[in-house]
Amino acid sequence: MFHSHAPPRLPPLTIAAYCTLGAASMLLGACQSSASGASMEELLARVDARLNDAEPDMIACFNRELTDVGGRVSGRIAVRVEIDSDGLVNNLEVLESSLGHPQADLCVADTIRRIFFEEWVDRRPVRVTKPFRFNDLGRP
């Protein structure tokens, strides 16, 4: 029997997503619906796509900041991002990282903090957990 040694596929957005209502949190399915008619799943897919679209900026930061290793970074990082009702990142926490360079963690966090989540304007705050995997990325 043949077994592939491909790395495990990471879930696109581990929806540990909650709408925050004061000190209490509710599961996302109970949150307000979209005025645009988009479902929560569609909105979260857009958030996930926006996070994925930021990966080239993270890699550019690795190349700029990690000159001692030629910008090369391998490993996984998982972040919890809280998006406020103004579409801006209110809070970001690195949950785990195997990137091996604190500056790489900062590149990921700083890149995400600059994202404007247009689809979340005028919505209740939400927290999502997002994993990223980098495989020896950087300058050739």
58 in any annotated domain: yes
79 in any annotated domain: yes
pLDDT of residue 67: 80
Structure tokens at 111: 């890149």
110 in any annotated domain: yes
Cβ(15)–Cβ(44) below 8 Å: yes
pLDDT of residue 119: 87
pLDDT of residue 108: 95
- For the stretch 74-121, pLDDT in tens is 899 999 999 999 999 999 999 999 999 999 999 999 999 999 999 888
- For the stretch 45-74, pLDDT in tens is 999 999 999 999 998 898 888 887 777 788
- Does the pLDDT at position 35 exceed 90? no
**Identity of the amino acid at 34:** S
Cβ(127)–Cβ(81) below 8 Å: yes
2 in any annotated domain: no
- The pLDDT-based confidence of 36 (bands split at 50, 70, 90) is low
4 in any annotated domain: no
What's the domain range around 89?
14-21+37-135
85 in any annotated domain: yes
Give the number of domains in the chain: 1
3 in any annotated domain: no
74, 75, 84, 76: which is closest to 128 by C-alpha? 84
Burial environment of residue 107 by CB neighbours within 10 A (0 to 12, 13 to 18, 19 or more)? buried
The CATH number linked to 67 is: 3.30.2420
Cα R_g (the chain), whole angstroms: 16
Which is higher by pLDDT, 7 or 134?
Answer: 134
104 in any annotated domain: yes
Cβ(115)–Cβ(77) below 8 Å: no
